[in-house]
Structure formats: structure tokens, C-alpha cells
Amino acid sequence: MDPSQVNIPPMKDLTTENITENVIQINSLCEDARMKYVLERLVHHLHDFALETRLSSNEWITGLNFLKEVGQISSDVRQEFILLSDVLGLSILVDSIDHPKPKGSTEGTVLGPFHTHEAEEMTQGDLMSNDTKGEPLLVVCTLKDMNGKPIQDVKIDIWETDSSGHYDVQHPDRDGPDGRCIMRSDSNGVFWFKAITPVPYPIPHDGPVGQLLKKLRRHPYRPAHMHFMFEKLGYDHLITYGLSSCLCYFIWTETDHALLSALYIRNDPYETSDAVFGVKDSLVVDVGKASAEVSRKYGVPEGHAILTYDFVLMTIDETSYLRDQKSREAMDNLGYKVKIVDGLPIPDVD
């Protein structure tokens, strides 16, 4: 930026009392109203954090060095900043803000780092895990809209670990995809398949984020769960992202019509202490036993482990209406008049 091209508002004499307004003033040259607002809030909170903690120079450089390490361990296959965001509860918060869910609609959760684009399309009843050490599990689900109407032909991406708590991509010598599949819901909104009962596993904790967890005396475990990603034109989209691992694939794809969720197995030892805060009561399920009728219908022995769930998807319109409403409420509380531009709130200064 050529300084002669910009009319910078002069700063006042800087003190701890006015540095914040001075920084915001100089940033207010930004022509992107949304970015200007985000930066204003960022600078406010960053400064208030330092002021309220009386942050020392030593703590400040320790923090910056930590962030540097987080950046430096990151790579195409390891996203330590996403991991940091996850363990601080920011990821699940942003998901909740971006994908608000009314009562009755299936809640979202964090994606985790282990989604790939390799999964094979399978047909109803297929076996998606070849791990013979796992406990066989029958999964039978339905997909409905907010009015209870079945949604057919939804593309469903499903993935889980093997019985040792590792995803296929974490095994360097793997032959191909395993523990993952793509299915499509039928005319009744039903999809069903055979899998294994999920087990808990730790998030990657050999880097700076793992060290932070250790200092906080927190464990790195996620409770047992199975991932689902739903995709259909017109239904709430989700921008998928991945946690990181030196062994995992990182994905960052804008799947315009996918909704992400996961089911958690009840009574897991980490059910109430998920390292990345992904568990929601409505997503916790019991593993049941197949009745005689289920046994006949799905071709499994009587008493076979079974997981059932009825997913309820919102349309894009329903989601964005709710998101706008909650944005207006939140900014109202801040005392801002608000306008929504491209789905995001900015203060209305006109």
C-alpha cells in the first residue's frame, strides 16, 4: 500500500486506555465492511484479553512461540491449527453458529481429520468394514425432512475406525479404503449397512496441541463414534474440514450440499469429556440387539448388535433463516444495528 494513496486517520498519543480504539481506527480504512467488523471485534477481544490477564512479556512471547510451533508442524496432511481450534471448543462453536439447528433437526458435530474421497459406493446391506476383530454391527437409519417426509437419493458418506481405533489411512501399508462407504437413501429415506461397533481413540497428540492438553491435564481421547455426511441439493450445506494427523489425509472441500453429523455410542468412558467437544446428547445412541423380526429382515443372527437412528435434515432456506435470526439477536445484544450481506452480519452504519 503506497502511503501517499491512503488518507490515514491520525492516531492519538498511545496509552493502554486508547491503543484499542487507535488500532481499530487505523484498520477502519478497510473497504470490506465484513472484514472491518471481524477485525474490530478481534482487536477488541485480543486487547481485552491482554488487559484482563495483565499479560507479561514472558507469557506473550511464550504464546507467540507456541503459535509458531503450531504453524511449523502443520502440513498438507497435518492441520495443527484446526486441532487447536477443536480442543479450545472453537470448531464446534463455529459449526453451531453456521449451522443452527432447531429442536427436532439432527445436530451437527465436528468432522475430524479422517474423511477421504476414496470411499466406494455400496448398496443396501453391504459390509463396509473388513476388520474381523471388530464387533459386527448392523446399522439401520432413516432420513427425513422437518415435516417428517422421507428424503430419498441422499448421498451418504460414512466412516469409522477399525477395532484398534485407527482409520484405514492411518495404516501405512493399507491396500485401499476400508471402514468407509458411500450409500444412497431409498424411496422410504432408509439406508442400512453392516459395520463394526466404534471404539474410542486419541486425537494426534504428539505436537504442540498435545503438549497443551498435557499441561491442562486433559486427555486426548474422543469417545467411540461413527461419521455421517449427507449431501443433497437444497439441504443445509456444510463446508467440511479436517483435524490433523501426520498420518491422515487433509481435506478441505466445499461440498455445497452436505450436512455433517456423527453418532456416539452411549456409556463410552469419554462420553462426557470428548477432547474436541463433539458429543451432543441427541447424537448419543444405544447399541441394541436384533429382534427376531429384524434378524429375518436384515439377514443377521437374532441378538446381533444393532444401531438405529432417524436423521432429520433441514433445507438450506430453513437453515439460513434461522442463522440470520440468531445473528440479528446476537448483534442486537451488542447494541449494533445490523444488516445481513451475503448471509453474514455487519453493523448498519447508514
Helix (H) or strand (E) segment spanning residue 36: helix 33-53
Stretch that binds a copy of itself, among 115-123, 156-164, 216-224, 307-315 (CB under 8 A): 216-224
Query: Could you say which residues in the range 31-50 bind a copy of itself, by CB under 8 A?
Result: 31-32, 35, 37-39, 41-43, 45-50
Asked if 127 touches a copy of itself (CB under 8 A), the answer is no
Q: How many CA atoms lie within 13 A of 332 on its CB side?
A: 6
Q: How far is the CB of 114 from a copy of itself (least distance, A)?
A: 17
Stretch that binds a copy of itself, among 63-71, 128-136, 146-154, 290-298 (CB under 8 A): 63-71
Among 33, 98, 152, 308, binds a copy of itself (CB under 8 A): 98
Buried b (16+ CB within 10 A) or exposed e, 157-191: bbbbbbbeebbbbbeeeeeebbbbbbbebeeebbb
DSSP bridge pairs for 38:
none
Asked if 218 touches a copy of itself (CB under 8 A), the answer is yes
Stretch that binds a copy of itself, among 56-64, 133-141, 157-165, 300-308 (CB under 8 A): 56-64
Asked if 146 touches a copy of itself (CB under 8 A), the answer is no
Asked if 155 touches a copy of itself (CB under 8 A), the answer is no
Task: Specify whether the CB–CB gap between 151 and 211 falls below 8 A.
Answer: no
Q: How far is the CB of 206 from a copy of itself (least distance, A)?
A: 13
DSSP character string of 132-171? TTSPEEEEEEEEEETTS-B--S-EEEEE---TTS--GGG-
Task: Specify whether the CB–CB gap between 155 and 184 falls below 8 A.
Answer: yes
Site mask, a copy of itself, residues 219-238, x = CB under 8 A? xxx----------------x
Across 146-257, the runs of DSSP E, i.e. the strands, are 155-159, 180-184, 190-196, 201-202, 221-222, 225-231
Q: How far is the CB of 100 from a copy of itself (least distance, A)?
A: 8
List CB contacts of 317: < 8 A, sequence separation 6 or more. Answer: none
Q: How far is the CB of 29 from a copy of itself (least distance, A)?
A: 4
Q: Given the complex with a copy of itself, which of 53 and 187 has the nearer CB atom?
A: 53
Asked if 1 touches a copy of itself (CB under 8 A), the answer is yes
